[in-house]
Amino acid sequence: MTTLKKGDAAPLFSGKDQDGNVHTLADYKGKKLVVFFYPKANTPGCTAEACDLRDNYARFEAQNYALLGVSADSAKAQASFKNKYEFPFPLLADEDKSVIQAFGVWGPKKFMGKEYDGIHRTTFVINEAGVIDDVITEVKTKAHAAQILP
């Protein structure tokens, strides 16, 4: 599972968002970047998490943060999710799981007694130099911004 830790260089990812725009780590040089991975768009926990980040977006911007959501959903599903809740940040449609694998958040999970492979809800806070400042694995979906912002 997540082998990346505080102090590691962030993976040099590249992925397309809900509109087909490509995002890379280099695009965010000079900004702090929050990359949050969530299992599935439009599910209760993922919606609560993304809405909490949306509701605190001005606070993130004021502190030079950019936000980027990532799941394995299709671009169409991500666009629907983004538009429905009016998220001001892009959502990567990582259907080939290249970004998910690069960050090491794909692996075995358990739900209601069943084991399966899936995305582990994890958030990475990357500083202006591309170094990971924090890895949050115990995400509080309804109060996630408070876990990130000082």
Where in the sequence numbering do the catalytic residues fall?
Answer: 46
- C-beta of residue 69 within 8 angstroms of C-beta of residue 92: yes
Q: Report the DSSP beta bridge partners of residue 109.
A: 116
122 dihedral zone (left: phi>0; alpha: psi -120 to 50; beta): beta
